[in-house]
Structure 1
C-alpha cells in the first residue's frame, strides 16, 4: 500500500470528495472512542452484534444474508456483489474436497486452504454487516448512528464514506469504499498473518493460483435457456492494490447489461457451495464413483466425454464443519487520507469473458490430478 500511496499523492482529489478529505483528516487526528449516548444506542449495538454473529455461522449463512439484505435495500449494490463473490468463496471451499483438489492436495493442505478462505470470508462479514444494519436503522429512523461504528472496530474510513453516502446517494463511491475497506481489513489479518503465510500464501499451490482455478470469479446468468458465465480473473492476489482494482472491475461487470439475468439466476438458485448450483450437466453433489478409486480423464472443454460420470462438487455443509474463529484483531488500517483517491480511480471493466479461461483451468486441474496419480504410482 505504501507504493500505491506514493502514486496517489500525485493525483488531484475531485471537488465532490473534498468534504471527505476534511472529515477523514480530522477523525484520523482524534483519539477515536465509542460515543454511546443512550440506552437506546446500547440496545442497538447489542442487537446488531447478536444478529451479525447469528448470520456469520458459515459461508452458506453469510452468503444468504448478503442476498436477503440486497433484496431489502437494492440501492446498496455492494451487498449483491458480496453475495456473488461469497458464492465463489463457497465453491472454492468445496473444490478442496471435490473431484480434483482432493487428489492434488493432502488432507492438511486442504484444511489450511479452507481455514484461509473461511477466515477472510468471516472477517469481512463481521466487519461489514454491522455497517449494513446501521444503514437499515437510518432508513427506519432517519437518525444517523454511524458514529457507533467505533464500537464494532470498523475503520474511520467507512464512517466518513457512509456519512458521505447519506448526503450524496453516490452508490459508486459507497461501493468502492466498501471494496477498499474490506481488502485493507483482511490484509494484515489474513494475507500477512504468519500462520497463513507459512501454510498457504508462500506455498507452491498458492503461487500457482491461475493453474488451480482459485482466482476466477464467476457470475452465472441465463442466456437462451442455458447458464452462461461472465466474470474475471485476479492476478497477484496477495497484493491489496490488485484485489481492490479487481473488486472494482467485478462491480462494473456485475452491474452491466446482464445484471438482471444474474439477479434472476441468483433468485432461482439457492447457494449450497456445490458447483452443481450453476452447471448441473458437469457437476454433481453426490459422488458417482467409489471414493478413492482411480481417476480417468473425463473432460473435453467444459463438457464430459461420452459415458463419463459428472465431476464431484459437494455441498459445503456436507464436507466442512463449522469453523471456530478467534476474535478479530482490533486495528485501524486507515492511516492516510490519500486513500480517498481510490474512490474515483476508474478501472476498465472489460467484457467479463471468463468461460473459456475457466474451462481451460478445469482441464488443467484434471491434468494435475492425473499427473498426481502417475507420480504416486511410482513413489
Structure 2
C-alpha cells in the first residue's frame, strides 16, 4: 500500500507540472495573440503583397542585376506612388463634392438636378417630393425623419471611417511587404519551415500552392479590378459625374466580385444623357465600352485558364472580408478564402504533389 502511494506521488507531481506548463504556454500564446491582434490584418496584407510582388523582384534581379534590397525599395516606392495618388484624389474629390453639394450657393443647382430627376422612370412622386422638401425645407425634413436620417448618417460615417482606416492599413501593408521583399530569401525559407512544421512532409507543396494562389488572385482578380476602377474614375472625373469618388469605390467592389462596371455604368450614362451634354454623355458611354472590352481582353491574357477559383468563392471572400475588416478585409478575404478553397481541394484529391504540379503548369502557361 505504501509502495503504491510512493509510486503515485511522482505521477501526481508530474501531472501537476505538465498542467502548469500547459497553462503557462497557452496563457503566453493568448497574450501574444491579444498583443498582435491589432496588427494581424496589416501583417497578412504585407505577406500577401510581398508574395504577389515576388515575380517582379525576380525580374528585377535577373534582368537588371538589382539586389533584393534595392529591388524592394524600387517596388515599394512605385507601389506607394500608385497607392497614395489615387487615394488622395479620391478623398479630395469626396470632400470637395460633399462641401459643394451642401453649400448655400449650390442650392439652385441641386434644385435643378432634382427637377431633372422627376421624369426618370424609377423616380416616383413621393421620392421627388421628399428630395424637393429636403432642399427647400431641410429643417422640417430633419425633424420628421430624424431617426432615419441619423441611422443613414451613422452608416455613411462608419463607411467613410472604415474606408479611411483601410487605406491606412493598406499603406502599412505596402511598407511591411517591402521589408519582406528586402529579405526575400530568408522570408521564403521561414515560410517553408512553418508549412513543414504544420503539414509535415507535404509542407513544401502546400507552400507552393499558397504562393501560386496568391499570385493568381492578385494578378487576375484584384489587379484587373484596380486597373478597371482607375480607368472608370478617369472617365467619371473628366465627364464631371457627380460623386465620382463614390462611384469609383463602387466600381472597385463590383469588379472584384466579378460583376463588372456595367451595372453602375449604364445608369450613370443614362443620367448624363438626361441631365448633361449629349456629346459628353456619348464620350463617357464610349469610354465605358472600351473599359468593358479591356476587362474581357485582359482577363484571358492574365488568366488563360480562367479565374483561379470559382466566382462564388471570390464573392463570399470579398463581401465577408469587407464586412469583417473593411477596405483591407476586402482584399484579404478574396485571397485567404481562395487559399482555403485550394487547400480544401488538396484535401479532397489526397494528392498534394499532383495539385501543386497542376498549379505550377497553369501559372507557367499564363
Which TM-score tier does this pair reach, normalised by the shorter chain? under 0.3
Q: Name the TM-score, length of structure 1 as normaliser.
A: 0.27
Q: Which has the higher contact order (CA 8 A, sep 6+)?
A: 1
TM-score by length of 2: 0.28
More helix by share: 2
